[in-house]
Amino acid sequence: MTSHPYLDPDPLLTAARARAAVGAWTEVRSILDGADDGVATPHRAALLGEARLRTGDPRTARAALALARPALRRSGDGATQRTVTNLLGAAAFALGDLREAAEAFEDALVLAEHEGDALLVARATNNLGAIAYFTGDTERALSCYRRAIAAYQRIGNVRGLAECWHNIGISLRARGDVTAADDAERRAVEHARDVGDGRLVAMALVGRAEVALLRGEPAWALASADRALRVFEALHDRKLAADAQRVVGDARDRLGQREGADAALDAALALARAGGHAMQEAEVHRTMAEVARRRGDRAAARRAGETARAGYDALDATNEVRQMDAWLATLD
């Protein structure tokens, strides 16, 4: 039941929650950022933090969420407090602090299991899968994702299923299982379309574009990544736009479009740096290294590869560090 506007204690928050319910996070930011007291209450701060996070602004998201957390603890609103704990982990993850992220996700999972919060159990488990992947344990990551899928299925959360299948696609692609990775991304697209979440559809399209590059289909990859890029730009999501631009650059280079490739990769690097997305920055450097190697410039390939490796190392992303060590060794 919708509150009567004259009785609603916080009509602004009610309006923002209505937009959040359909995934309109840019509109949520517009509603709450545009208010003079946009973070005047912990519940506004919590929702604004989530909106900032989901639109690729983890630095300011963490600030709003940190503001909300102690007030929520005092208010006794355990449900929102648990959610904020998980979101603080997601903000730390986006900023490249995997240790802080893992601690927050573990805390959120313990709180969710204690209170029987099935949705948050699924979300925290999915997030811990991402941590496991980047710290080198692909099998544990896949196990976490599959447990999260089972949890999302029990509660009928289709958006969560889309996120999990996309993450599974990433892990399978890294393991070299290209066909299974593409099947996972297809499932992610289907679920995201079922709930009308254009952002999630675009994320999975970038995943499929990366699979297409592995299959030697750069034209298809370029079309898919460019389509996703337009979605992320409309949402002002710098993190995901950086990912899409990186794939666009890679595809253009494989198609012989050197100037377009360099422009896309430079744009990807600028977006990653502007948003403080350390993982995306390292990923762009890795792609730049691969492009330089394809062009026969081994010195540039080594410089970019070592920069990527240092970025992964600073993030404790042991899976990527191991891969870069092996890649750099081939240059010798």
In order of 12, 87, 130, 154, the CA distances from 97 in angstroms are: 33, 13, 13, 31
pLDDT at 22: 83
Contacts of 30 (CB under 8 A, 6+ apart): none
What would the two tokens of residue 250 be? 């890679």
CA distances from 58 to 86, 93, 320 (A): 13, 9, 22
pLDDT digits (tens, 9 = 90+) for 164-217: 999 999 999 988 999 999 999 999 999 999 999 999 999 999 999 999 999 999
The Cα-based distances of 306 to 42, 311, 322, 325 in angstroms read: 43, 9, 12, 9
Within a 13 Å sphere around the CA of 195, how many CA atoms are in the beta-carbon half? Answer: 21
Q: Looking up tokens 């604004």, which residue turns up?
A: 48
Q: Residue 291: is it exposed, middle or buried by C-beta count within 10 angstroms (0-12/13-18/19+)?
A: buried
Give the pLDDT confidence score for residue 235 in this predicted structure.
Answer: 85
Residue 97's nearest CA partner among 238, 241, 243, 277 is 277
Residues 6+ apart with CB under 8 A from 21: none
pLDDT mean across residues, the chain: 91
Q: What is the percent of the chain with per-residue pLDDT over 70, rounded to a whole number?
A: 95
Per-residue pLDDT tens digits for 204-245: 999 999 999 999 999 999 999 999 999 999 988 888 999 999
pLDDT tens digits for range 32-59 = 986 654 456 889 999 999 999 988 888 8
